[in-house]
Amino acid sequence: MKRIRHNLSVFICMVCLLGSLLPGQAFGVDPGQISRTAEATCAFRTIGATDPDPKTRNPDYLARHFLNPEWEGRFPGLGMDYAAAKIAMDQMKSGAFYYVNARTLHMDALLAEALQEGCRQVVILGAGFDSRAYRFHDSYPQARFFEVDLPATSMDKQARVEKLLGRRPDWVHFVPIDFNTQSLADVLAAATFLTDQKTFYVWEGVTYYISQEGVDNTLRFIAEHSAPGSGVVFDYLHADVALGLDYSAYGARRVTSYVAFQGEPYVFGIDPRHLETFVHLRGLEMLSDQSPEALTQHYLIRSDGTVSGKICGFLNIVHAQVPVHSKRRRLIQKAKSQMKMFRVARASDIETHRIDVPHDVQDFLTAYSRLLVSSDFKALEDYFSPDYLSSGIYNRQQVMGFIRRAYQKRPIQYHQIILTRFDRQGNRARVDGYVQRKGYRTPLMVSHMAQKSDGRWCWYRYDPER
Ligand SMILES: C[S@@+](CC[C@H](N)C(=O)[O-])C[C@H]1O[C@@H](n2cnc3c(N)ncnc32)[C@H](O)[C@@H]1O
């Protein structure tokens, strides 16, 4: 057990360290690959379902059947010993585990409400290893489920379902799609989806991985091709994190780096202050927007009144519904007039947050990025202070080996460091900022620079706690 926990801490350290050095590919799950983040959320639900407290327990009792066996050794106690697994989850200091538990409870409650009110079609968008189609079937046998996902993950899910049930269930339709390039209208029409039936859409843990166009097209499809009264629940990333502007929310640095390291970086976010206008503009009526604080109050308070754990602070969950046609037009018109009152931040605006740094610092940053792009790892070593790369567990050589292997897997195409903070004290400087990659941003995980005796700068200290 001790060894597994040690391995987990090492893994977290390495993810954080490599987070500052991520390969910079175009965003999205690699073609043909099963979504790594879908596997991770399935593992979180498997652990959450063993919570001894029924008040905070994750209701996904089937998650363990969808778990990739590869994950079983990764988290101590996974699916068996909640106390051990919880220690590991808390050590991650990301809040993602608690967020996923609150999210399952919230989305399950909304789905149950819709089914009770007579909804007969459920579309699970970006389904991953979602088990709702199988958990809700006994209580709502008339409901038809559509599980929509990228082809490789969808295929793998079908195999896991067949293994669990011994057959392919006739109430579930598996629908492959790429939200960034394909229309939901086309793929659902081919799967006998009925546009005149009340439908409930679950879009869990997906919007932040796809382009704004992909999000817009999906929400507009829901508004225009579903019966009035149909509902949708989806979660969204706060725009400040997507734009690399502010990573101070709990877990933001770690989770942003983790998902990018898995090849599924965050690319899209919404400013919570403008959420209602955002939803109205896409033709939907807002019902609720749950902040991390509200989710904690509703779903993470244990039977003894204490909070089960700290939730990540940069994701909200929206519930919206399809209004009647005339109301939809009014909502869109009102939202358009409100649009004039604020300007939607786009990544290109955020260049203005860049601070000017001395020439020698800029030269250092530029040369460092160039070496990453050209994979010159030998020369790159010189850009770190001796203590920077030694975590106490691995030596410098081993760490450079990790970096080299990560880059070999996904060669880097674009890397630019934008500093938003540079506080110099003597020959050291505290820095902050983000890394611009091809199509997305990740936090600068390195917090300090030092000037060497020859006048050149180097990364000086990695601070995992910030
Ligand atoms: C974090 S997982 C969430 C999975 C599941 N909804 C859950 O909560 O466990 C993200 C899901 O989005 C899917 N996804 C990512 N990009 C997509 C795209 N461009 N088109 C369709 N699905 C996508 C992935 O395949 C994956 O299943």
Residue 277 sits in the same domain as residue 415: no
pLDDT digits (tens, 9 = 90+) for 246-258: 899 999 999 999 9
CA torsion through residues 210, 214, 216, 221, sign: negative
pLDDT digits (tens, 9 = 90+) for 29-55: 888 899 999 999 999 999 999 999 999
Residue 297 sits in the same domain as residue 391: no
Residue 204 has pLDDT above 90, yes or no: yes
Q: Can you name the residues that pair with 422 across neighbouring β-strands?
A: 431
pLDDT digits (tens, 9 = 90+) for 172-199: 999 999 999 999 999 999 899 999 999 9
Q: Is 460 helix (H, G, I), strand (E, B) or coil?
A: strand
**Which residue type occupies 17?**
L
Average confidence score pLDDT of the chain: 88
pLDDT for position 96 = 98
Rounded CA separation 261/410 (Å): 10
For residue 146, report the phi and psi dihedrals to the nearest 5 degrees. -120, 115
Residue 229 sits in the same domain as residue 280: yes
CB distance 262 to ligand 1 below 6 Å: no
Residue 397 sits in the same domain as residue 435: yes
Burial class (CB in 10 A: 0-12, 13-18, 19+), 448: middle
Residue 159 sits in the same domain as residue 264: yes
pLDDT for position 17 = 44
Q: Which of 306, 327, 349 is the last residue of a domain?
A: 349
Q: Which of 302, 323, 349 is the last residue of a domain?
A: 349
pLDDT digits (tens, 9 = 90+) for 96-108: 999 999 999 999 9
CB distance 235 to ligand 1 below 6 Å: no
pLDDT band of residue 391 (cuts 50, 70, 90) is low
pLDDT band of residue 461 (cuts 50, 70, 90) is low
CB distance 149 to ligand 1 below 6 Å: yes
CA distances to 20, 157, 355, 432 from 462, in Å: 10, 39, 21, 12
**Which residue type occupies 412?**
I
Residue 359 sits in the same domain as residue 456: yes
CB distance 156 to ligand 1 below 6 Å: no
Any domain includes 451: yes
Where would I find the beta strands (DSSP E) of 39-177?
A: 121-125, 144-149, 172-176
pLDDT for position 9 = 46
For residue 300, report the phi and psi dihedrals to the nearest 5 degrees. -115, 15
Task: Give 360 Cα–ligand 1 centroid separation in angstroms.
Answer: 43
**DSSP result, 369-421:** HHHHHTT-HHHHGGGB-TTTT--SSS-HHHHHHHHHHHHHHS-----EEEEEE
Tell which residue, 99, 400, 445, has the closest CA to residue 254. 445
Task: Summarize the confidence of residues 200-229 as an average pLDDT.
Answer: 96
**Which residue type occupies 318?**
V
Residue 11 has pLDDT above 60, yes or no: no
- For residue 55, the enclosing domain spans 31-349
Rounded CA separation 459/464 (Å): 14
Tell me the best of 27, 29, 218 to mutate to test the pocket of ligand 1, counting ligand atoms within 8 Å of each CB and taking the most: 29
For residue 448, report the phi and psi dihedrals to the nearest 5 degrees. -135, 150
Tell which residue, 127, 252, 239, has the closest CA to residue 179. 127
Residue 28 has pLDDT above 50, yes or no: yes
Q: Is 316 helix (H, G, I), strand (E, B) or coil?
A: strand
pLDDT for position 163 = 96
CB distance 206 to ligand 1 below 6 Å: yes
DSSP state of 301: B
pLDDT for position 19 = 44
Q: Are strands 285-290 and 231-237 parallel, antiparallel or unpaired?
A: unpaired
Residue 381 sits in the same domain as residue 270: no
CA torsion through residues 268, 437, 292, 64, sign: positive
Task: Summarize the confidence of residues 333-350 as an average pLDDT.
Answer: 63
Any domain includes 6: no
pLDDT for position 242 = 92
CATH of the domain at 364: 3.10.450.50
CB distance 104 to ligand 1 below 6 Å: no
Q: Is 335 helix (H, G, I), strand (E, B) or coil?
A: helix
pLDDT band of residue 14 (cuts 50, 70, 90) is very low
Contacts of 202 (CB under 8 A, 6+ apart): 107, 111, 122, 123, 124, 125, 130, 132, 232, 233, 234
Q: Which of 349, 376, 410 is the last residue of a domain?
A: 349
Residue 377 sits in the same domain as residue 335: no
pLDDT for position 350 = 56
Residue 16 has pLDDT above 50, yes or no: no
- Report which secondary-structure segment, H or E, holds 286: strand 285-290
Task: Give 35 Cα–ligand 1 centroid separation in angstroms.
Answer: 7
**Which residue type occupies 23?**
P
Residue 322 sits in the same domain as residue 386: no
Residue 458 has pLDDT above 80, yes or no: yes
Residue 59 in tokens: 């209701």
pLDDT for position 444 = 86
Rounded CA separation 96/343 (Å): 30
CB distance 178 to ligand 1 below 6 Å: yes
Residue 383 sits in the same domain as residue 337: no
Tell which residue, 250, 265, 315, 303, has the closest CA to residue 100. 315
Residue 231 has pLDDT above 80, yes or no: yes
CB distance 68 to ligand 1 below 6 Å: no
pLDDT band of residue 89 (cuts 50, 70, 90) is very high
What is the four-CA torsion angle of 128, 132, 133, 138, rounded to 10 degrees? 160
CATH of the domain at 127: 3.40.50.150
CB distance 265 to ligand 1 below 6 Å: no
Residue 131 in tokens: 């088990």
pLDDT for position 71 = 83
pLDDT for position 348 = 52
Task: Summarize the confidence of residues 310-314 as an average pLDDT.
Answer: 98
Q: How many domains does the chain have?
A: 2
- Report which secondary-structure segment, H or E, holds 424: strand 416-425
Residue nearest to atom 12 of ligand 1 (CA): 126
Any domain includes 435: yes
pLDDT for position 124 = 98
pLDDT band of residue 400 (cuts 50, 70, 90) is confident
Residue 25 has pLDDT above 70, yes or no: no
Any domain includes 273: yes
Tell me the best of 34, 66, 147, 150 to mutate to test the pocket of ligand 1, counting ligand atoms within 8 Å of each CB and taking the most: 150
Cβ proximity of 209 and 180 under 8 Å: no
Cβ neighbours of 65 (radius 10 Å): 17
Q: Is 130 helix (H, G, I), strand (E, B) or coil?
A: coil
For residue 147, report the phi and psi dihedrals to the nearest 5 degrees. -100, 110
Residue 211 sits in the same domain as residue 329: yes
Any domain includes 383: yes
Any domain includes 13: no
pLDDT digits (tens, 9 = 90+) for 132-177: 999 999 999 999 999 999 999 999 999 999 999 999 999 999 999 9
CB distance 130 to ligand 1 below 6 Å: yes
Residue 384 sits in the same domain as residue 313: no
Task: Give 156 Cα–ligand 1 centroid separation in angstroms.
Answer: 13
Any domain includes 22: no
Cβ proximity of 438 and 24 under 8 Å: yes
pLDDT for position 349 = 53
Any domain includes 137: yes
